[in-house]
Structure 1
């Protein structure tokens, strides 16, 4: 038996500079999506070349056009939402800019001097405290200010110190706020927040929401518990 080899594919491959495998690979490439203009063009071609004895189903055609219009509408809506989001983010930056120079209450046990040189914050007690002591401690571990309080109810308690040392000099920050509290049941664990001056506003790369620069570092506007 004589075996023959079909050389037509190899011959055509050499003629066009491609092989059957590369031609098959090429056939699988291309754009797998179509936009509204392309759909209408394809639909027009189908209507022009349809078999008069077996015309296209008009219901199917209308359904396809409806689906394409729906997709186009969603695409336009997404574009509008992105534009609106960009405008809102810009307005947030503008609003945050009006906070410069104000004091922001932040969840922190570190205190920096405010514009008047003083230190202030809030202490939140989860339960009543028969005794409580508030101390401000510098970086060397020295207590520069201390205040003793008694019979404090659960809730928020303000504290403030003008920052003046016994010798008349102004204390330099940062200072650590150390709070101890107790009642008849034992130790009470309060939370501490301190006031920090907002010194600037910036918008990070990528168009994300504004960031606030404070004497305690960079924070998000959502981190501000209160503004004064």
Structure 2
């Protein structure tokens, strides 16, 4: 924060220092060539130091005058700190950090993860990226005990993105899984594994960082989303 030069006044009597003070102000104002005619806190301290150094020894400044000018410096510092705090608060509430991210609740986003969780309908879906062609690609969904819950035969696939899907039911139409499962790929080399996760809630960190999207697979930021569905 900067304050205009005329806002800071002093009744101190300086004779030989007047030209020096004016010189300091001239060198500070507009020294960047941008036409900025305001001074910062450090510039005022330089001017006050010059006043103290070149004061008239026959008419020294009064203690009350010095205290008054120091009070003005304190006000400048307090205002600067207040503006910085307000800017931090504004940034923490802006854009995708909170308001925009809140609109994602209930939607699904594709994120890099080797686990996949069911959506609100109990369905599992994800995407793998093959670095080369595959003649017999297979995607297996494995539970925490290491047992294969579902094996999805994808057949021959070209290099690139390959989507997979499972409704969460066995051959008899019964619910076969209800929690997160690990994605295991055989018959091909992958460069990326991702899955769809439903956004259940949005959390705004007390530190003022990016908003966190809470999903069954963990917490992510909006920047982690590869796609939004």
Please report the TM-score for the alignment, with normalisation by the length of structure 1.
0.67
Q: Considering only aligned residues, what root-mean-square deviation do their CA atoms show, in Å?
A: 3.4
Q: Which has the larger radius of gyration?
A: 1
Pairwise CA distance, 1:61: 4.8
Match of 1:174 among 180, 189, 209: 180
Distance in 2 between residues matched to 1:77 and 1:153, nearest whole Å:
59
From the superposition, tell whether residues 64 and 40 of structure 1 become closer, same or farther in structure 2 (CA, over 3 Å): farther
Deviation at 1:181, TM superposition (A): 2.4
Query: 4+ residue runs of structure 1 moved beyond 6 angstroms?
Result: 35-39, 75-82
Aligned to 1:71: 40
For residues 117-196 of structure 1, the aligned pairs below 5 Å read: 117-170=122-175, 171-182=177-188, 188-196=189-197
Q: Which residue of 1 aligns with 2:226?
A: 225
Alignment size in residue pairs? 183
Unaligned runs of 5+ in 1: 1-34, 183-187
Q: Deviation per CA, 1:194-226, whole angstroms, max 9, x where unpaired?
A: 111100001111222211110111122211111
- How far apart are the structure 1 equivalents of 2:201 and 2:195? 18
TM-fit CA distance, 1:41: 4.2
* Contact 2:203 2:211 (8 Å CA) reproduced: yes
TM-score w.r.t. length of structure 2? 0.67
Instruction: Tell me by how many angstroms 1:172 deviates.
Output: 1.8
Alpha-carbon distance change, 145 to 62 in structure 1, aligned in 2, over 3 angstroms: closer
| Separation in 1, partners of 2:9, 2:146 | 79
8 Å Cα contact 1:179-1:190 kept in structure 2:
no
Offset, 1:83: 4.5
Equivalent in 64, 89, 94 of residue 92 of structure 2: 89
* Residues 130, 82 of structure 1: alpha-carbon distance in 2 compared, 3 angstrom cutoff: farther
Secondary structure at 2:137's aligned position in 1? Answer: strand
Shift of 1:193: 0.4
List runs of 5+ in structure 2 lacking aligned partners. Answer: 31-36, 44-76
Secondary structure of 2:15's counterpart equals coil
